Amino acid sequence: MKTSSFQHMYLVASVLPRMTALRRFVMEGMMLVLGFRIKKDTSKAEQSKEAKVFISNHISKFDFIPFHVSLSCNTPNTSSFSFPFWAGGGECLGLINLGRNTRFSRSTFLSKLKSFLCRTEAPIVLFPEEETTNGKKGLLKFSSWPVSACNCVQPVILSAHRPITSISLSPIPSSWYSDFFWSLFTPCTVYTIKFLPVMKRAQNETDEDLMSRIEACIACEGRLSPTLCTPSEKYELEKRLVRALATQNSGARRYDSRMYAEAQRIREIFPNIPLNAIVRELGRSHGNAELTISRLIADSSFQNLSFNSSSSFNQSPSPSSPSTPQFNASPHNRMSAFAEKKAQFIAEARRRYIEKHGLNVPS
């Protein structure tokens, strides 16, 4: 149902004229149907009509959608992000292609960005982090290129939470299609756009200094910590996490296969004990077969099973021995007899295990 609703929203966004109250009302209503609610926080400042550029933190690959629906903003595609709709008119959802990171240099991209700002009345939103964070702990280091195209910007803080579930918007590592899938199947996602006071370039102020002021303002108001981490460092972290996860999974598979093979060998000695119980004891003893056999024999829940399965260990009783077992009234003698029988079972099980698998273990 949500997929069909998203297709209807895309169709409506393609048909209705831009920057109209009707389009904004219809789009916000369809976002509610999809489970997305967009709120504006004007406690610090109102939306400025003077600034045509918003500078925001970056929390997901779909941040441009709430900005476009609520503020009619456009967002230049500054990464290799390629949602399928972009090939057929993705501008209807706010993402525009100015050639960054394709065949144009940064200077060419900035000139195209300035030209776009001059010929349109719609504001744009830029993400100087260039990569996503969770929006809860810190900020990636801001790049200075977003303020090269203008001298007056309005910082905003974008935050999001999912009240019913704890699914992250953009976990590490993830792809845009996995984030899109979970966004459609999440009951509710609440976006909040918090406006901060407009910031203008001071006389002789460089792009780096202006961006440093903007970064400090967003970090302070959003209770975030500015860092020196770059998008490339996040990319390297993602690669390390993927490799570590793959290694961990392969190691777990190898460990499980060895564990089950060892459990099968032990079960040949104690066929009446369930295989899952042997595997569990092997895990507790870290794969030590002798310790596992000792624990299985000592475990009261397996004593009868292990004794029955190991009945061949005992020598046949002599004809002169009485057929009825005598109960020893002394607790000390009973414990001594049990310890002696237990040691006998362990020694016999160890001997049979070594002989069966041809192990060269000193006695």
CA 71/CA 67 separation, integer angstroms: 5
On whether residue 235 sits in a domain, the answer given is: no
Residues 53, 145: one domain? Answer: yes
pLDDT score of 191: 94
On whether residue 357 sits in a domain, the answer given is: no
On whether residue 340 sits in a domain, the answer given is: no
CA 142/CA 155 separation, integer angstroms: 12
Domain final residue pick, 247, 281, 298: 298
Tell me the one-letter amino acid at 211.
Answer: M
Q: Domain with 280 in it: what CATH number?
A: 1.10.8
Cis peptide before 319 (omega within 30 of 0): no
On whether residue 313 sits in a domain, the answer given is: no
Burial class (CB in 10 A: 0-12, 13-18, 19+), 62: buried
- What's the Cα-to-Cα distance from 101 to each of 43, 75, 106, 125, rounded to whole Å? 37, 15, 8, 18
Q: Which two tokens stand for residue 134?
A: 């969770």
Give the position of tokens 């009485």.
322
pLDDT score of 153: 94
CA 206/CA 296 separation, integer angstroms: 74
pLDDT score of 278: 82
- Alpha helices (H) in 72-123, listed in sequence order: 106-119
Residues 281, 141: one domain? Answer: no
E strand segments, 114-263? 124-126, 138-139, 152-161, 189-195, 199-200, 225-226
Residues 220, 280: one domain? Answer: no
Query: Do residues 162 and 185 lie in contact, with contact meaning Cβ atoms separated by under 8 Å?
Result: no
Domain final residue pick, 197, 230, 263: 230
On whether residue 341 sits in a domain, the answer given is: no
Residues 180, 226: one domain? Answer: yes
Query: Do residues 158 and 134 lie in contact, with contact meaning Cβ atoms separated by under 8 Å?
Result: no
Query: Do residues 237 and 172 lie in contact, with contact meaning Cβ atoms separated by under 8 Å?
Result: yes
Residues 102, 223: one domain? Answer: yes
On whether residue 246 sits in a domain, the answer given is: no
pLDDT score of 327: 43
Beta bridge partners of 156: 56, 195
Query: Do residues 168 and 132 lie in contact, with contact meaning Cβ atoms separated by under 8 Å?
Result: no
CA 113/CA 120 separation, integer angstroms: 11
Q: Domain with 13 in it: what CATH number?
A: 3.40.1130
Domain count along the chain: 2
3-state DSSP assignment of residue 160? strand
On whether residue 206 sits in a domain, the answer given is: yes
Give the position of tokens 């108001």.
221
3-state DSSP assignment of residue 30? helix
Residues 161, 290: one domain? Answer: no
pLDDT score of 43: 92
Q: Which residues make Cβ contacts (< 8 Å) with residue 118, sequence separation at least 6?
A: none
Give the position of tokens 């590490």.
172
Residues 43, 144: one domain? Answer: yes
pLDDT tens string, the chain, 363 residues long: the values are 666 666 667 677 667 777 778 888 888 888 888 888 999 999 999 998 889 999 999 998 889 889 988 898 888 887 655 555 544 456 777 788 776 554 557 788 888 888 888 888 889 999 999 888 888 888 999 999 989 888 899 999 999 988 888 778 877 777 777 888 888 788 889 999 999 999 999 988 999 999 999 999 999 999 999 999 888 888 888 888 777 777 666 555 555 677 788 888 887 777 778 888 888 888 788 778 778 887 777 765 555 555 444 444 444 444 444 444 444 445 566 566 667 777 777 777 777 777 777 777 665
Residues 225, 263: one domain? Answer: no
Residues 268, 168: one domain? Answer: no
pLDDT score of 55: 95
On whether residue 39 sits in a domain, the answer given is: yes
Q: Which two tokens stand for residue 125?
A: 């939103």
CA 73/CA 93 separation, integer angstroms: 9
Residues 202, 293: one domain? Answer: no
Beta strands at 152-161 and 199-200: parallel, antiparallel or unpaired: antiparallel
Which residues constitute the domain of residue 176?
1-230
Residues 259, 169: one domain? Answer: no
- The DSSP secondary structure of 268-329, one letter per residue, reads HH-TTS-HHHHHHHHHHTTT-HHHHHHHHHH-GGGHHHHHHHTGGGSPPPPTTS-SSPPPP-
